Amino acid sequence: MRILSRLSGTLSLVLALFISISVSAQSSENKKHVIIGYVGGYRGLYDTAMVDAKKLTHINYAFVVIKNNRAYLEHEKTDTVNFRNLLKLKKINPNLKLLISIGGWGGSRNFSDAVLTDTSREAFAASAVAIVKKYHFDGVDIDWEYPNDIGAGNIYRPEDKHNFTLMFQKLRLDLDTLEKEAGGKKLLTTAAGGFTRFLKLTEMGEASKYLDYVSLMTYDFAQDSLHIVLHHTNLYASKSYKTLCSADMAVHDFMAAGVPADKLVVGVAFYGHTLAAADSQIMVLGAKTASIRVRGVGGGYTFIRDSLINKKGYKYYRDKDAYAPYLYNADLRQFITFDDEWSVKNKCKYVKKNGLAGVMFWEYSSDRKEYLLKEIDKDLTF
């Protein structure tokens, strides 16, 4: 009986270990939702040691630029080092997908020319896929800010609207060819403006047929042209002022335009915006601003949480209608709008409730202590 008991106990232990390993492997391979993080290699060498590969499904490397109508590594010396270091993360998470992201706010000037004709589109797509192939990446992300719009000083024209779609069509064909040559799925994604006007500049319903994911940039809603105190990354509309943008608005508008829910990815901001209230030391959402500060002056979230929340005169508030936190310093008349664990938790709940693909965030190094990524991982992983 003792021998049988010991044998039974050993078998039970082995079975339990096998089940545990199998469940762990299955969970890693089949995360219920995507967690896409941008890493900013445009600054030079990137500290990939801080990147927790186990908490991510995808990394988008920002940015590859466009030169002479081709995808081009502007900082090849550091880009290639960053590529090698990012590939090492696959040893930690073999299911991690790495994509080159082409464009960005300051790098979208030449998209219009690059995709203007059949010939230019073929050359552009070939050059992008060549980078993917050469450096053993998993796909291409397009961050065109924005088609048929001046953006940060873009060349733009009405033809961008349809050429945007044709660009994805050609990229998809070339990535399909690479799939057959190299084996393994090659992804095609885009970062899209999280506002209704973006849908007038593009054919998102048609373009989405070629895309694996559409990441909504549901942040930077606080714009200098509006001259009012408002949230920059709110989930819902605020009742305190007439909301022009929200993640919820963007999701419903994109679905109405024909983008499937299971391709939509909600954006999370890992940084804050600082605005200066103009009228009063009593902060009122929707009030006039004296000025708006550039992106990131509010600091990354690690800085905001560790150094500003309920410190140095900055008092923490929540707009519970918009699911948006903010800080206000009455002495300095400074308003800081950002995402925190509370707002991120609610964005993740929203993703699950509406059958969306997952979340995306800009940018990893803005929250080096991973306060927000830990919350995302907890909320979206099995």
pLDDT in tens, the chain (382 residues): 433 344 344 444 434 444 443 444 444 455 689 999 999 999 999 999 999 999 999 999 999 999 999 999 999 999 999 999 999 999 999 999 999 999 999 999 999 999 999 999 999 999 999 999 999 999 999 999 999 999 999 999 999 999 999 999 999 999 999 999 998 999 999 999 999 999 999 999 999 999 999 999 999 998 755 788 999 999 999 999 999 999 999 999 999 999 999 999 999 999 999 988 866 667 789 888 876 554 444 689 999 999 999 999 999 999 999 999 999 998 888 899 999 999 999 999 999 999 999 999 999 999 999 999 999 999 998 6
In a domain, 237, yes or no: yes
User: How far is CA 105 from each of CA 84, 147, 154, 292, 311, rounded to the nearest angstrom?
Assistant: 25, 12, 10, 18, 33
Distance CA 140, CA 128 (A): 7
Closest CA to 215 of 189, 233, 236: 189
DSSP-assigned states of every residue in 71-140: EE-TTHHHHHHHHHHHHHGGGT-TT-EEEEEEE-TTS-TTHHHHTSSHHHHHHHHHHHHHHHHHTT--EE
Do the domain assignments include residue 303?
A: no
Q: How many domains does the chain have?
A: 1
In a domain? residue 361: yes
Q: What is the structure's pLDDT at 291?
A: 63
Asked if residue 149 is part of any domain, the answer here is: yes
Residue 195: what pLDDT? 96
Q: Is residue 311 one of the residues assigned to a domain?
A: no
349 vs 345: CA distance, rounded Å: 6
The answer to whether the beta carbons of residues 344 and 247 sit under 8 Å apart is: no
The CATH number of the domain where 148 resides is what? 3.20.20.80
Which member of 145, 203, 363, 370 is catalytic? 145
Is the separation of the CB atoms in 326 and 215 below 8 Å? no
Query: Can you give the pLDDT at residue 293?
Result: 53
Does 172 map to a domain? Answer: yes
Distance set, CA 5 to CA 12, 126, 306, 344 (Å)? 10, 64, 55, 50
Quote the CA–CA distance of 252 and 257 in Å, as a whole number: 9
Domain that holds residue 167: 29-269+339-380
Which residue in 134, 348, 322 sits closest to 240, CA to CA? 322
Q: Is residue 55 part of a domain?
A: yes
DSSP run (H or E) holding 65: strand 58-67
145 catalytic, yes or no? yes
Within-domain flag for 18: no
Name the token pair of 373. Answer: 């990524």
